[in-house]
Amino acid sequence: MKNYNCFIVSCFMLLFSMTASFAQDKEAKITLTFAKVDSVNVCKALVTSEGSPVIEIPVNLSVKRLFSNLALGDAVSTDSTGVATFEVPQDIPSRDGKLTIFAKIEDDENYMNTETSGEVNWGTIVVSDNSNINERSIAAGRNGAPIYFIISSLLVIGLVWGFLIYSVLQVFKIKRLGTINKD
């Protein structure tokens, strides 16, 4: 009976994997458009599948950052025309003013995971002030470290070496006292 149980469980697992693999068989396409409406940055994501708009599907909007994408709010569902409308904040910092914006469909029951991106000049240009680059600071390297860091590290190193030398001298002193008491 145990052999049959294993066989039945294997069959159920095989059937479940086949039904799960066909759950997300539709492919969606996302098209991004950018516009400035009444001094508000608006991004519209048009979601279509096989030429017709997709209704009530959540779309996530994010902007590219240094290590990963930064989500711009919660997911917005598409309306009856297949468009999800987002307001993009105007204070997102960037080096050259360009932002790479991603629209993504994730974990939907009917459609596969889809992502598209577009670039727009909506970023706030950040100018870094490096006028104090030659000053001593905690984050600086060897040459720019604060004087008290250098003195304290040299003091600690000197104390450790002093303790080691003192210990070796004590060992020799103990050895010498042992030879004197033997005579």
pTM, two decimal places: 0.61
| Confidence tier at 161 by pLDDT (50, 70, 90) | very high
- 23 against 163, higher pLDDT: 163
Q: Average pLDDT in the 109-134 region? A: 86
Structure tokens that stand for 134 in this block: 């030659």
Three-class secondary structure of residue 146 per DSSP: coil
Q: pLDDT at residue 64 above 90? A: yes
Instruction: Give the per-residue pLDDT at 143.
Output: 81
User: Which of 116, 43, 35 shows the shortest CA–CA distance to 73?
Assistant: 43
* Beta carbons within 8 Å of 57's beta carbon, 6+ residues apart: 28, 47, 77, 78, 105, 108, 110, 111
- 156 against 11, higher pLDDT: 156
